[in-house]
Structure 1
Amino acid sequence: MTPSDWWRRFRSQFEPPAIPDPLWRRALAACPLALRLDPTRQAALRQLATVFLARKRFHALAGAELDERLRLLIAMQACLPALQQGVRALRGWNEVLIYPGEFKVRRSHHDERSGVVSEAEDVLIGEAWEHGPLVLSLTDVWLDLEQPWDGYNVIIHEMAHKLDMLDGPADGVPPLPPGIVRRVWINTFQRAYDDLVAETSRGRETLIDPYAAEGADEFFAVVSEMHWSQPGLLQRSEPAVAQLLTSYYGPSPAPF
């Protein structure tokens, strides 16, 4: 055995198993966001999804059912926002929790004025915890696959939070590549967020989902969904934000 043969054998022990061609083709046909990528980005997505499947543990909860194709479909959409950043964007967490539909989360709220701590249950379709799991509603995962261009995608929304939290608590400013000036990002997003808050507070209809006015972190996640699934609407509403997201994520595969 030559040294190069030994090295290839040694390295193969640590490489994740390849996604079989038939499985990849079936999943690709069912995921319009991935299907419309150019061949180079499709190949990069396949490599990234391979790593995702090897590193993340999937847990089906409350009667949800998962098979290998569904795991791959989730991995593919989760890796789309990470295409530009690569494998390092997947660091810091290990689990994907899948519920069959909406799920409840109990939260504590501290009122700074009164000092009173209250508890309430939120009904969610997705959630991302810093250093914790990615939590998804299977019903909404399927809905996004069936309606890929409606401006919504729960996996991309929650993965935007994951990217945002790579450098600490979510604040709408993820670690940025060298080509994007941090101050430009902050100023552009803050102005767009402030405008949305002002419009929603007046009761006006907005092109961006009013949920984005909940906080700078939610604004980033909502416009990330729009970049991938309805970029034309985002361009009409906030062209400067749309341009920055194209630099950050790469061009949208949406057909308009």
Structure 2
Amino acid sequence: MTNWLRRLRDAFAPAPRIEDSDWHALLRRSALFERLPDGDRTALRTLCERFLARKTFSAAGGHELVAADCLAIAALACLPVLHLGFEHLAGWREVIVYPGEFRVRREHHDERSGVVTEGDDDLIGEAWERGPLILSWADVATDLAHPFDGFNVVAHEIAHKLDALDGAMNGTPRLPPTIARSEWIGAMQPAYDALARAVQRGRDTAIDPYAAESVDEYFAVVSELHFSDPVLLAREAPAVADLLRRFYAAPAPATSVAGLRSDR
């Protein structure tokens, strides 16, 4: 069977059903899911079934993955696209899970001096534009146990995936018709600039100062807050909070054959 025929078959094949006992165990595992309206829980379950059917999970660094943990990661990854649609998770297919922080080697280019340096970074999550979603299970587990403390590593990395859908990680994801690009930038850029100035001046900020690293990190951090501490976000950046409420609640477009095939 040719690759395109296999992708088409997989796209239309029904995803394996999540057993009721497994789904209810997930809902009991974290108040993040338990508090969802019934309709959203049903939609999330359907998205999780597609995620588990179309993404592959790999353990790294000696970690041991179990089915319940894969389901939890799937639910956290699908929550941001609950209303946007599954096609917003297109373009990648692997989830790699480490037991805790993992180390990556990076190159840093100083634009002023032209000097390139190498160094190691310890990360809890990473999302490549068309590569895997990489996660620290210790941090995922903490987010499940304490879902409203302002942190959600999976939501953060999925925000990066959404940001990359239009071909560039620049803090502006593919927007629904109800939000103009000028409106998005008009709310996000001033909020990012204000946070960056505060961090540069050494001020304590309620929003994680890591958000001041770049506009794409700002979008990822405020997306975390949207799901884990929306009250803090509304207090610190009301225009951004309102924009994200509209973005993450945007209705999914009509499903197309191309959209179904693209998540392979």
Matches within 5 A, 1:140-159: 140-159=139-158
Could you tell me which residue of structure 1 aligns to residue 163 of structure 2?
A: 164
The yes-or-no answer on 1:125 pairing with 2:124 is yes
Could you tell me which residue of structure 1 aligns to residue 236 of structure 2?
A: 237
Q: 3-state DSSP class of the match of 2:24?
A: helix
Q: Shift of residue 111 of structure 1?
A: 2.7
Matches within 5 A, 1:76-87: 76-87=75-86
Whole-Å Cα distance in 1 between the matches of residues 98 and 138 of structure 2? 8
Q: Give the AA of the match of 1:116.
A: V
Could you tell me which residue of structure 2 aligns to residue 33 of structure 1?
A: 32
Change (3 A) 1:191 1:13: closer
Q: CA deviation digits over 1:64-112, x for unaligned, max 9?
A: 1111111000000000111121111110001000000000001112233
Whole-Å Cα distance in 1 between the matches of residues 30 and 249 of structure 2? 18
Q: CA deviation digits over 1:104-131, x for unaligned, max 9?
A: 0011122333333221110000000000
Q: Percent identity?
A: 55
Whole-Å Cα distance in 2 between the matches of residues 11 and 98 of structure 1? 24
The answer (yes or no) to whether the contact 1:110–1:118 under 8 Å persists in 2 is: yes
Could you tell me which residue of structure 2 aligns to residue 63 of structure 1?
A: 62
Could you tell me which residue of structure 2 aligns to residue 178 of structure 1?
A: 177
Could you tell me which residue of structure 2 aligns to residue 254 of structure 1?
A: none
Q: Shift of residue 57 of structure 1?
A: 0.5
Could you tell me which residue of structure 1 aligns to residue 91 of structure 2?
A: 92
Q: 3-state DSSP class of the match of 1:121?
A: strand
Q: CA deviation digits over 1:175-219, x for unaligned, max 9?
A: 011111211111100000000011111111112111100000000
Whole-Å Cα distance in 1 between the matches of residues 37 and 114 of structure 2? 54
Could you tell me which residue of structure 2 aligns to residue 204 of structure 1?
A: 203
The aligned length equals: 242
Q: Give the AA of the match of 2:105.
A: R
Change (3 A) 1:95 1:11: closer
Whole-Å Cα distance in 2 between the matches of residues 30 and 102 of structure 1? 23
- Gaps in structure 1 of 5+ consecutive residues: 1-9, 252-256
Q: 3-state DSSP class of the match of 1:167?
A: coil
Could you tell me which residue of structure 2 aligns to residue 246 of structure 1?
A: 245
Change (3 A) 1:12 1:221: closer
Q: CA deviation digits over 1:36-61, x for unaligned, max 9?
A: 11111111111111111111110011
C-alpha root-mean-square deviation of aligned residues, in Å? 1.7
- Gaps in structure 2 of 5+ consecutive residues: 1-8, 251-264
Higher normalized contact order (CA 8 Å, seq sep 6+, divided by chain length): 2
Q: Shift of residue 11 of structure 1?
A: 9.8
Change (3 A) 1:184 1:13: closer
The answer (yes or no) to whether the contact 2:125–2:157 under 8 Å persists in 1 is: yes
Q: Shift of residue 13 of structure 1?
A: 7.6
The answer (yes or no) to whether the contact 1:199–1:206 under 8 Å persists in 2 is: yes
TM-score (norm 1): 0.91
